Amino acid sequence: MRFLMELNLLDFTNSSPSPFHAVENSCNILKKAGFEELVFSEEWHLKKGGSYYTRLYGTTLFAFKTGTALDDNHTFRLAAAHTDYPCLRIKPNPEMCDKDYLKLNVSVYGGMIRPTWMDRPLSLAGRVALKSQDIFHPEMRLVDFDRPLLTIPNLAVHMNPDINKGLELNPQTELTPILGMLTENLNKEHFFLHLLAEELSVKPEDILDFDFYIYNWEKGCPLGIENEFISAPRLDNLTSVMGCLSGILNSENTNTINVISLYDNEEIGSHTKQGADSIITNVLLEKIYTSLGYAPERIYDTLLKSFMVSADVAHGLHPNYIGKCDPTNQPKLGQGVVLKINHSQRYATDVEALGIIKQLCQAYQVPYQEFVNRSDMPCGGTLGSISSSWLPAMTVDIGIALLAMHSSRELMGAADQKAINDLIAALFNA
């Protein structure tokens, strides 16, 4: 498959340290490709053959293309991913000072592997609300400090001789990052607020609130004898975000409405106003239908004939823990897209959906493999089953195989990004 537009995974992950930035960067990519931005809360005037995107609350994004020759037998082709990742987030009033060490009060977001965040250069990215003339519309600014600013030091082995027997970190007392040392130039009570005001070039009193993610500042890179791996933060789930973007950019079908949904809050269950477990996608599809002149009640007739891909990462076979993998389904890094299966429907895939996706892979020469959890281990989940409970389209869960999933730095096969890009583009073009 020949792409009309190529995207670079490492450029995208390095410049997307928060869901706010992932959505902003995605919007810039879509705008550059000629997509028109729509305001979700306004009336739309769509045309057949149009390309559009709309963002929601800063961390969720939808983009869609309407076929040039839609008729009464058209269908939806949908692909979904998530923009958030497990990390630490800054609490309100975060300033803490212990024996002149300046620290920030944080909380754990999602199922992060806590020890992997120790002894690393960390930074901050997020969004700030500033005073404005309109009470109901504060001025919103994106911020990325993009420099090594914090760290969480381990306790020396001499003081904790059992550290190599396993480490359980208390999120309130042992994961508080160090920001600096108290000096006469710093305000002990408001040092973070003053730092933020300086970064924004505003007065501290103009800052109403903020939402900040602590992220691993170390950049992603190729790795391995032949650069066959990619090691980077936030591969879960920016690999799938990129797959969705690449797919919609390179879609040219005439009788489908192609939609990508990039949701926030998957790592905490998706049950938010901007998450997959909400009515928001149904509202989106109704607005599309109404604007194109179709009766809204026909949406569900069309959805029952449609197909959706839920794209999230998958567990790869770990060579040091082979016994943790299913005996006969062992996806490997670099061997293609993973089709994710669970008989308790933690993944939405069923046998007919598998038949469709396998034929699609074979027709477009996309390598694929299958994942099923060991029968004696609980299965994780993603937004596929959640989203398909709102949208009754046939659904399959797919993703790229990772090692160290939910670590501050994860590992993937370099060839797999092309595979997921190709598969989602095939979905939109077949």
Q: Give domain limits for the chain.
A: 9-85+233-429, 87-216
pLDDT tens readout for residues 315-333: 999 999 999 998 999 999 9
87-216 carries CATH number 3.30.43.10: no
What pLDDT, on the 0 to 100 scale, is given for residue 349? 83
What pLDDT, on the 0 to 100 scale, is given for residue 140? 97
Exposed/middle/buried for 136, CB within 10 Å: 0-12, 13-18, 19+? Answer: exposed
pLDDT tens readout for residues 361-385: 999 999 999 999 888 888 778 888 8
The residue ranges of the chain whose pLDDT is under 50 are 1-3
Pick 9-85+233-429's CATH classification: 3.20.20.220, 3.40.630.10, 3.90.1150.10, 3.40.50.1360.
3.40.630.10
What pLDDT, on the 0 to 100 scale, is given for residue 347? 83
What pLDDT, on the 0 to 100 scale, is given for residue 252? 85
What pLDDT, on the 0 to 100 scale, is given for residue 6? 67
What pLDDT, on the 0 to 100 scale, is given for residue 81? 98
What pLDDT, on the 0 to 100 scale, is given for residue 188? 84
What pLDDT, on the 0 to 100 scale, is given for residue 253? 78
d(CA 69, CA 254): 5
SS3 of the chain:
CCCCCCCCHHHHHHCCCCHHHHHHHHHHHHHHCCCEECCCCCCCCCCCCCEEEEEECCCEEEEEEECCCCCCCCEEEEEEEECCCCEEEEEEEEEEEECCEEEEEEEEECCCCHHHHCCCCEEEEEEEEECCCCCCCCEEEEEECCCCCEECCCCCCCCCCCHHHCCCCCCCCCCCCEEEECCCCCCCCCHHHHHHHHHHCCCHHHEEEEEEEEEECCCCEEECCCCCEEEECCHHHHHHHHHHHHHHHCCCCCCEEEEEEEECCHHHCCCCCCCCCCCHHHHHHHHHHHHHCCCHHHHHHHHCCCEEEEECCEECCCCCCHHHCCCCCCCCCCCCEEEEECCCCCCCCCHHHHHHHHHHHHHCCCCEEEEECCCCCCCCCCHHHHHHHHCCCEEEEEECEEECCCCCCEEEECCHHHHHHHHHHHHHHC
